[in-house]
Amino acid sequence: MWEQEVAARVLEALAARGETLATAESLTGGLLAARLTDVPGASRSFVGGVVSYATRVKVSALDVPADLVAEHGVVSQQCALAMARGVGARLAATWGLATTGVAGPDEQEGRAVGTVWIAVAGPAGAHARLLALAGDRVAIREATCEAVLALLEDLLREEGALR
């Protein structure tokens, strides 16, 4: 399973560096944390996550500014970045991963099903990517997990933590 291989690689790289990881999930509803904890030894670097399905939880638990949500919505680059930074700070993790978007069946905030933002915040800053995914809810959620793990892997590779 590709996801588990990537999850294992990033968790191993983080553990070797003494770094930690936390997740802030909306549309994935805990699936990302589950994928990470499927890896034996994940507890060496994965500290936990927040499932912030409701907007009010993004604001209260992840410190996403309410004015940011009012201006940009929760399906936005700004919200994804705030979620990643917020979970990292709240859970005292080196890295924060975030997922927010529309898994369907209906559009949200005028954004089409499959519109997803992912973000990774770490020591060198924060990065976000917009995804336009196809498929049903399950496929969109799975692809989101794959994409955010791949983004973290890319960033770790750029830092020389992975080959």
**Percent above pLDDT 70 for the chain:** 98
**Percent above pLDDT 90 for the chain:** 94
Q: Could you give the domains of the chain?
A: 2-158 (3.90.950.20)
Q: Are 78 and 70 in contact (CB under 8 A)?
A: no
- d(CA 130, CA 72) in angstroms, rounded, equals 14
- d(CA 25, CA 50) in angstroms, rounded, equals 6
- d(CA 121, CA 4) in angstroms, rounded, equals 21
Left (φ > 0), alpha (ψ -120 to 50) or beta: where does 70 sit?
A: alpha
Mean pLDDT across the stretch 109-135?
A: 97
Band (163; pLDDT cuts 50, 70, 90): confident
This prediction has a pTM of: 0.97
- d(CA 40, CA 163) in angstroms, rounded, equals 21
Contacts 24+ apart (CB under 8 A), 1-5: 2/146, 3/35, 3/142, 3/145, 3/146, 3/149, 4/35, 4/38, 4/39
Averaged pLDDT score across all residues of the chain: 96
Q: For position 25, what pLDDT does the model report? A: 98
Residues 99-117: tens digit of each pLDDT: 999 999 999 999 999 999 9
